[in-house]
């Protein structure tokens, strides 16, 4: 029973992946999907030739989007688990250091000024997301208090400034064109995803996820009191910088590609903790798998339920928020689990 | 202490008394000769016949005022971007007028300083802003043009208020003539030969005009079937997969766009299965000096253009530029070509 619970994330992931691959506005069932994949793997002789239109929809539209939703879901959930451990705060989310506010500001700025550049919006969002977190880090570093809570406060400060900047840009935006684009971008969506975005986002997210999985065990020490960690010979500040840099790169590349996505980074670590416990050795990979699965399912709903797309943050909030409520009432899980890492 | 309270109270009472001596500041005096109308928000309003200064907050209002030959009454500019710039090049008096809107926000003090008698707003205008303008003594009339019929009703409404009913009927008749000209030619096309189209919006190429938008009416009148007709709302986002599944014969791009164009769409790997892309039938909706797919009777020009673009052989005898030149000359004061207009 216990091993089933541990393997549950993987089982759900495989089922969700196959389900998602065979769903979409373009009618293409599981049989066609298997044939398409088999044909691509050189088994065309056995499964027959598939129509070029179907190949195009599957390989150029559906597949990059699915890969992207898995990567982004894993990336921001991992950042969530890292931040909850670093700040010993169950409500810490990946955007706590201003990465989302910075990214949204960068995107809006580019929508207003650099619309002709290919990947201009994505590039600008990425740069400003990194800049926001760097500023927060510099402010915290200049404080006499070296505790992690100062970093959180400077994150709040930076978020507020970039949020104000975003509001100002929206005030000056041309309402019939630019403003609509900015609003849509801040709500996040996967419907614009193509291989170009996958190529720029996936390497960072995969590399970051591997690093965090390999060094996940150290987060157990980071959740303890800073004096205790120091007494174990761990340089808390150095490791904190390492985790913040890796998480920020992952979240910034995600936000830059698909806009801001709410709830996922906050809630997935809690669900994972409920399933595999608070030991980061197991918690980190479980969070990555669950985050990818959750966003994959949410995006499949967003793109199939009606002919018009539903912004992804609406779907993640509708399903994510009640689930967090359920966890709050549940005796087994529990938000304080983040502080009980062994 | 008591003395101070007494002083504060007497200053307050004094200012209140002073304000009440000038009720005209808060309440407008209506003239005796008035016209009573119901505007397109369904509000009953009484307008004096002596209107001479008009603040239009939407280009449709301005266009109607221009068409009725009353452009000198406008106290501010209300034409968007390229159209405003084109008119400003032709008319220094227009160029000198202030902009009334910043985004969607109205600067009430600036408006009141211009002393308009009448404000023409679009029906989606914030009702609390309408109330604020009315409290400042400005009469507000709301117009709407999401269908041709509504556009023509707006023209009649403004015509009645400005006592220019003959000019209004003339403008409506000219617009209806263009619609009929299209309709007669399209009757020869059998229903199964009507082309399937989508109209891509300003946010990105995957946002489409829904059945609730004017673009759908324009396309319908141009003999096309908008495959996104069943969708609701304003510029609905759809997945590229949905566009491939719809497989439109022709794609129209909104004319207010600057972020993508025909070339980006033709080279987009995700859309290579779409007939419109394969046959290179993607067109940018005119025009560069004012949109023809936007609420205002001018969208009848968009209908004629779209019909000719879709079925060129049926419209071989129609010269769109000449038609536009005549329409613009009569109802804007300048020909389309002289404004720098291109198709």
Of B102, B241, B269, the CB nearest to A26: B241
Tell me the ipTM for this assembly.
0.73
Higher pLDDT, A332 or A159: A159
Mean pLDDT of chain B: 86
Residue A341 placed within a domain: no
Nearest-CA neighbor of A76 among A154, A183, A188? A188
Give the mean model confidence (pLDDT) for residues B178-196. Answer: 91
Q: How many domains does chain A have?
A: 1
Of B81, B231, B237, the CB nearest to A184: B237
Residue A145 placed within a domain: yes
Q: Are B238 and A307 in contact (CB under 8 A)?
A: yes
Q: Which of residues 90-119 of B touch A (CB under 8 A)?
A: 102-105
Please report which confidence band the pLDDT of residue A337 belongs to, taking 50, 70 and 90 as the band edges.
Answer: very low
Residue A315 placed within a domain: yes
Q: Is any Cβ of chain A less than 8 angstroms from the Cβ of B213?
A: no
- Please judge whether A177 and B202 are an interchain contact, meaning their C-beta atoms are less than 8 angstroms apart: yes
Interface residue of A66, A177, A185 to substitute, partner B, most B CBs within 10 Å: A177
Give, for A235, the enclosing helix (H) or strand (E). Answer: none
Per residue in A80-91, pLDDT (tens digit) is 999 999 888 888
Q: Are B325 and B335 in contact (CB under 8 A)?
A: yes
Q: Is any Cβ of chain B less than 8 angstroms from the Cβ of A52?
A: yes
Q: Which of residues 259-298 of A touch B (CB under 8 A)?
A: none
pLDDT at B28 exceeding the cut of 60: no
Q: Following CA atoms A30, A32, A38, A43 in sequence, which dihedral angle do they give, to the nearest 10 degrees?
A: 140
Please report which confidence band the pLDDT of residue B102 belongs to, taking 50, 70 and 90 as the band edges.
Answer: low
Residue A243 placed within a domain: yes
Distance from CA of A204 to the nearest CA of B (A): 24
Distance CA B336, CA A150 (A): 62
Chain A's closest residue to B261, CA to CA, is A116
The domain spanning residue A63 has which CATH number? Answer: 1.10.3470.10
Higher pLDDT, A124 or B9: A124
Using omega within 30 degrees of 0 as the cis cutoff, is the peptide bond preceding A34 cis? no
- Report percent pLDDT > 70 for chain B: 88
- For residue B105, what pLDDT is reported? 65
**Domain enclosing residue A262, as ranges:** 2-336
Distance from CA of A140 to the nearest CA of B (A): 37
Which chain A residues have a beta carbon less than 8 Å from that of B210? 308
Please report which confidence band the pLDDT of residue A338 belongs to, taking 50, 70 and 90 as the band edges.
Answer: very low
Distance from CA of B113 to the nearest CA of A (A): 23
- For residue B103, what pLDDT is reported? 58
Domain ranges of chain B: 20-164, 174-331
- Domain B174-331: state its class: alpha beta
Q: How many Cα atoms occupy the beta-carbon half-sphere of A305 within 13 Å?
A: 11
Least confident of A326-330, B144-148, B327-331: A326-330
Helix (H, G, I), strand (E, B) or coil at A114: coil
Of B238, B258, B272, the CB nearest to A307: B238
Per residue in B260-312, pLDDT (tens digit) is 788 888 988 889 989 999 999 999 998 888 889 888 888 999 999 999 999 99
Query: What is B20-164's CATH number, 3.50.50.60, 3.40.50.1980, 3.40.50.300, 3.40.630.30?
Result: 3.40.50.1980
Of B232, B257, B270, the CB nearest to A194: B270
Which chain A residues have a beta carbon less than 8 Å from that of B228? 307
Give, for A220, the enclosing helix (H) or strand (E). Answer: helix A219-222
Distance from CA of B288 to the nearest CA of A (A): 15
């Amino acid at each position: 029973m216990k091993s089933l619970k541990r393997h549950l994330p993987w089982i759900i992931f495989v089922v969700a992946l196959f389900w998602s691959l065979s769903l979409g506005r373009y009618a293409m069932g599981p049989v066609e999907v298997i044939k398409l994949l088999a044909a691509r793997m050189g088994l065309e002789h056995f499964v027959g030739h598939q129509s070029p239109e179907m190949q195009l929809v599957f390989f150029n539209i559906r597949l990059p989007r699915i890969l992207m939703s898995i990567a982004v879901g894993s990336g921001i959930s991992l950042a969530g688990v890292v931040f909850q451990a670093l700040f010993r705060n169950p409500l810490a989310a990946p955007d706590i250091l201003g990465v989302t506010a910075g990214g949204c500001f960068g995107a809006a700025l580019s929508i207003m000024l650099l619309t002709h550049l290919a990947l201009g919006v994505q590039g600008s969002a990425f740069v400003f997301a990194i800049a926001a977190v760097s500023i927060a880090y510099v402010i915290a570093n200049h404080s006499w208090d070296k505790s992690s809570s100062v970093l959180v406060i400077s994150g709040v400060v930076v978020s507020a400034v970039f949020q104000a900047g975003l509001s100002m840009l929206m005030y000056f935006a041309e309402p019939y064109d630019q403003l609509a684009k900015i609003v849509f971008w801040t709500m996040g969506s996967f419907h614009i995803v193509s291989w170009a975005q996958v190529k720029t986002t996936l390497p960072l997210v995969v590399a970051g996820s591997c690093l965090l999985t390999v060094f996940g065990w150290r987060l157990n020490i980071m959740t303890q009191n800073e004096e205790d960690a120091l007494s174990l010979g761990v340089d808390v500040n150095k490791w904190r910088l390492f985790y913040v840099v890796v998480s920020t790169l992952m979240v910034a590349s995600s936000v830059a590609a698909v806009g801001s996505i709410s709830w996922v980074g906050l809630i997935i670590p809690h669900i994972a903790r409920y399933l595999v416990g608070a030991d980061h050795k197991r918690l980190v990979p479980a969070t990555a798998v669950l985050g990818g699965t959750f966003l994959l399912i949410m995006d499949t709903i967003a793109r199939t339920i009606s002919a018009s797309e539903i912004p992804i943050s609406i779907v993640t909030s509708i399903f994510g928020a009640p689930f967090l409520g359920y966890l709050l009432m549940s005796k087994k899980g529990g938000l304080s689990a983040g502080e009980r890492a062994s | 202490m008591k003395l101070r309270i007494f002083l504060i109270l007497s200053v307050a009472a004094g200012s209140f008394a002073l304000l009440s001596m000038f009720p005209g500041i808060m309440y407008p005096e209506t003239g005796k000769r008035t016209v009573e109308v119901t505007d397109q928000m369904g509000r009953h309003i009484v307008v004096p016949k002596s209107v001479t200064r008009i603040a239009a907050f939407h280009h449709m209002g301005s266009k109607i005022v221009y068409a009725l030959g009353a452009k000198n009454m406008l106290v501010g500019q209300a034409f968007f971007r390229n159209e405003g710039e084109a008119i400003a090049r032709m008319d220094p008096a227009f160029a000198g007028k202030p902009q009334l809107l910043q985004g969607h926000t109205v600067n009430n003090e600036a408006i009141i300083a211009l002393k308009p008698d009448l404000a023409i707003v679009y029906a989606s205008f914030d009702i609390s802003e309408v109330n604020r303008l009315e409290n400042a003594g400005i009469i507000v009339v709301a117009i709407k043009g999401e269908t041709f019929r509504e556009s023509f009703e707006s023209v009649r409404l403004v015509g009645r208020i400005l006592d220019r009913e003959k000019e209004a009927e003339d403008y409506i008749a000219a617009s209806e003539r263009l619609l009929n000209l299209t309709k007669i030619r399209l009757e020869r096309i059998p229903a199964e030969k009507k082309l399937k189209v989508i109209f891509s919006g300003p946010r990105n190429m995957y946002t489409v005009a829904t059945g609730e938008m004017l673009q759908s009416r324009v396309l319908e009148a141009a003999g096309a079937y908008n495959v996104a007709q069943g969708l609701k709302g304003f510029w609905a986002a759809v997945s590229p997969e949905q566009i491939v599944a719809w497989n439109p014969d022709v794609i129209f791009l909104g004319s207010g766009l600057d972020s993508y164009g025909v070339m980006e769409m033709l080279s987009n790997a995700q859309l290579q299965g779409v007939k419109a892309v394969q046959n290179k039938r993607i067109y940018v909706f005119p025009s560069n000096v004012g949109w023809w797919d936007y609420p205002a009777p001018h969208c009848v020009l968009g209908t004629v253009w779209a019909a000719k673009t879709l079925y060129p052989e049926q419209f071989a005898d129609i010269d769109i530029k000449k038609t536009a030149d005549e329409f613009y000359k009569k109802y804007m004061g300048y020909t389309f070509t002289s404004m720098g207009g291109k198709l």
